[in-house]
Structure 1
Amino acid sequence: MPLVSISDVIDVAGEFKRPLVEGERFLEANLLVTVGRLSSSDCNIVNVWALCLKTSALTQHPHTLTVKLNLKTIYSRVMNISCDCKAGTSEKCTQETQSKHSVGLLMYLNRMNSPDELEDLSCTDLTQQWGKLKKAVLTEYEAVQITKYCHFVTPQSIYAKGIPKVSEDLADQFASLILAEAPKSEIFLHRSNARERASQVNCEPVEDVEGILRENAKRITEKLLLKPRCESVKKLADLANQELEKLSPELQQFYKENIEVTPEKTVHLATSTVTQSEDGVWDAARSCRITGAKVYNAFTYTRNKNPDWDKRIKEMCNSSFDGNDATAFGLLYEPIARDCYAETKKVSVIENGIFILPDLPWLGFSADGIVVDDNCSPVKLLEIKCPPSGEKLSAAELHTSCGYFEKSKSRNLKRKHRYNGQVNLGMFLLGLEKCDFIVYSKSENKFVVDEVKLDEEFTFEMTASLVDIYFNKILPYLFCRAETDNVFDGDM
């Protein structure tokens, strides 16, 4: 019968398949360089001692393994087993961390029928064994260059036929995509004039760009919170509170803990998301609220005669959209357009993160910029669009072709357009009455602007239609999602 039974091997591996698989691979790789037995005063006790190579360091001293076997029994012969590797230091045989070396050694012993097949080792042999075997073992595992193998084919340089020519337009597209992925890189900061924008409140150039942007965002958010709001904000808050009171205590508590914000929390979220470097915070704050980017499409969907709100809400709260060429282009040229606007209009523009009004915490808005007066008080919202077609078209041509504006002589922003809903929600929440909506042309570094005034009646109609949707559909979905995932990150 075998020296160690298969059941002993399985007992040592425990309930886990991985030690068995890796132990067999270890044995097949011939990494056991010596296996022997030590003398014992009890003929029924066999003390096995072995050396195995370290796969991560073949030239270093190998791992040492010891096994104590009880030959009085047919099964469960393994009294204890250990390996000096990290996974095998415990003497427990049935544990997840049992090393592949220990399992491989037991598989080796399973192929023997008698302890007499093992080499007898003395204490002196233990200290000398690796020295005797090292040269032969390392010769067997000597590294060979891959180029020495018969099947190796010498690769040709990718430039053997010359570097293909790339057009300027294609090169610009490549540059836009690369820079959009590295907004903290030196070249992005240089091309977007980020340091100059950040230092607008200082006389000296600054290195702590994010620090200055956050400080500016903090000041502007504190002032925005103090601005008086139109009467419709109070009416909308009353409608929302009425719906909230109808909900279960569990939902009300969830809303209070995860959606409601204090003025201090509003300032924190705005400052921590101004650079969007903490994408997790920005994404979490947006995912549980109706924001400027979502509001108009959600509003028009309320008029759908056959709506599928379950599907719609999942799309709104779990967007997997990571951007495309157009968003990458916009991300790259938005700061340049902002600077162009500020210089042309001779005004100061402050960047801000997501703004959440404590009275309406289920709504949110991320401004492209806030125009301020000489006292750094907010006077106007700035919304920037940088369509990729602006690489070739002038600002005037964009004005007529982009599709955002009326075809009438006034060329105003279309009332029935998602961007109109977006900027009106922004003005509504920020307490501003005007917004400069600009479309930027990269080709001539100019822009067209339409001053949009707050349409209080339209904005109230749009947001009021979503109160029932949010509190009776979106909020329960967020609650169930948090219960399922056992985590909610909307209040990061």
Structure 2
Amino acid sequence: MLQFKSKDGIECDDFIKFAVSQMNNSLCSEAEKKTRAESENPLWHELRFERITASKIFEFTHCKTPEGTFVESIIGAYKVRDNKFMKRGRLLEKKVLKCAEQKVKCKFQECGFFTMPLLPVLGASPDGISKDYVVEIKCPSSVKNKNTYIKDNNITAKFKGQLHLQMLCDASPDFEESNNVEILEIDFDEQFANELTAAAIENWENFVFPKLFVSCQ
């Protein structure tokens, strides 16, 4: 942003074009490899700053105001406090991924933070990836909580939007005892993805860019 403002830039469209000009596939690939430790990695946190991440994209497209904790969480002014459910998810993630590999007979590669040169304000950190799959793991703490992710055997809209992935891997609430993993697969829907990202970028222009621009004065 400081470089953009030094060139007398003021419009959001021009900023996005500037960001596109500064990014390329090689740099994005290097950043992904360097952020594979995820939350333990300072660069992982830095790259998420001011970006619409996959876990927030669906809710962000439905955001109606620039004020409040949700937009603040995008710009880094508000952080969700860690809790026992988040800790449980982190502890189980590798075990769940291993069970998923055994079920689909496929090896998943560890992922860092993915960015895209042509969509510089977006980013995603899937839990695993292969030639045919993108994996997002959810570890609900109860059967009731599971309905947040899967309802009537369908992935809910929020989490369909999270990565718009080919596969969602959902661990049983009693995974620690049963090692049971339920796997749902969905195909990539290009129209859904394009509409989702367009709505998210429009809100980023209206709600995030003005705050980012002012903060760099």
**Is residue 2:180 matched to residue 1:402?**
no
* Structure 2 partner of 1:481: 215
**Is residue 2:188 matched to residue 1:447?**
no
Deviations 1:363-415 (A, max 9, x none): 111010002xxxxxx211111111233xxxxxxxx4x86102233xxx1212x
Picking from 458, 463, 471, the partner of 2:192 is: 458
SS of aligned partner of 1:249: coil
Picking from 281, 294, 298, the partner of 2:56 is: 294
Contact 1:437–1:452 (8 Å) recurs in 2:
no
Partner Cα separation in structure 2 for residue 255 and residue 451 of structure 1: 35
* Structure 1 partner of 2:140: 387
State the TM-score, normalizing by the size of structure 2.
0.82
Deviations 1:164-218 (A, max 9, x none): xxxxxxxxxxxxxxxxxxxxxxxxxxxxxxxxxxxxxxxxxxxxxxxxxxxxxxx
For residues 293 and 259 of structure 1, do their structure 2 counterparts lie closer, same or farther at Cα, with a shift above 3 Å needed? Answer: farther
User: Post-superposition shift, 1:253?
Assistant: 5.5
Partner Cα separation in structure 1 for residue 81 and residue 22 of structure 2: 27
Deviations 1:142-183 (A, max 9, x none): xxxxxxxxxxxxxxxxxxxxxxxxxxxxxxxxxxxxxxxxxx
* Structure 2 partner of 1:412: 154
When the two chains are superposed, the root-mean-square deviation of aligned CA atoms in Å is: 2.5
User: Post-superposition shift, 1:436?
Assistant: 3.8
For residues 277 and 456 of structure 1, do their structure 2 counterparts lie closer, same or farther at Cα, with a shift above 3 Å needed? Answer: closer
* Structure 2 partner of 1:164: none
User: Post-superposition shift, 1:314?
Assistant: 2.0
* Structure 1 partner of 2:31: 269
Partner Cα separation in structure 2 for residue 289 and residue 313 of structure 1: 11
Partner Cα separation in structure 1 for residue 16 and residue 159 of structure 2: 31
For residues 369 and 337 of structure 1, do their structure 2 counterparts lie closer, same or farther at Cα, with a shift above 3 Å needed? Answer: same
Partner Cα separation in structure 1 for residue 137 and residue 128 of structure 2: 8
Amino acid at match of 1:405: I
Picking from 282, 285, 293, the partner of 2:47 is: 285
* Structure 1 partner of 2:9: 249
For residues 326 and 264 of structure 1, do their structure 2 counterparts lie closer, same or farther at Cα, with a shift above 3 Å needed? Answer: same
State the TM-score, normalizing by the size of structure 1.
0.38
SS of aligned partner of 1:362: strand
Contact 2:111–2:126 (8 Å) recurs in 1:
yes
Picking from 308, 311, 324, the partner of 2:65 is: 308
User: Post-superposition shift, 1:447?
Assistant: 0.4
Partner Cα separation in structure 1 for residue 55 and residue 16 of structure 2: 24
For residues 439 and 455 of structure 1, do their structure 2 counterparts lie closer, same or farther at Cα, with a shift above 3 Å needed? Answer: farther
For residues 361 and 379 of structure 1, do their structure 2 counterparts lie closer, same or farther at Cα, with a shift above 3 Å needed? Answer: same
Find the structure with the greater CA-based Rg: 1
Deviations 1:391-447 (A, max 9, x none): xxxxxxx4x86102233xxx1212x3x1111031xx4xxxxxx22433242221120
Picking from 190, 202, 213, the partner of 1:468 is: 202
User: Post-superposition shift, 1:259?
Assistant: 9.2
Amino acid at match of 2:202: D
User: Post-superposition shift, 1:260?
Assistant: 4.7
Gaps of 5+ in 2: 1-7
Contact 1:380–1:436 (8 Å) recurs in 2:
no
Picking from 340, 353, 358, the partner of 2:99 is: 340
Partner Cα separation in structure 1 for residue 16 and residue 118 of structure 2: 17
For residues 257 and 316 of structure 1, do their structure 2 counterparts lie closer, same or farther at Cα, with a shift above 3 Å needed? Answer: closer
Amino acid at match of 1:249: G
Partner Cα separation in structure 2 for residue 255 and residue 452 of structure 1: 32
Deviations 1:40-77 (A, max 9, x none): xxxxxxxxxxxxxxxxxxxxxxxxxxxxxxxxxxxxxx
User: Post-superposition shift, 1:287?
Assistant: 1.8
SS of aligned partner of 2:150: coil
Deviations 1:66-93 (A, max 9, x none): xxxxxxxxxxxxxxxxxxxxxxxxxxxx
For residues 260 and 468 of structure 1, do their structure 2 counterparts lie closer, same or farther at Cα, with a shift above 3 Å needed? Answer: farther
Amino acid at match of 1:402: K
Gaps of 5+ in 1: 1-247, 302-306, 372-377, 390-397, 428-433, 484-492
Contact 2:169–2:181 (8 Å) recurs in 1:
no
Partner Cα separation in structure 2 for residue 422 and residue 330 of structure 1: 17
For residues 339 and 259 of structure 1, do their structure 2 counterparts lie closer, same or farther at Cα, with a shift above 3 Å needed? Answer: farther
SS of aligned partner of 1:270: helix
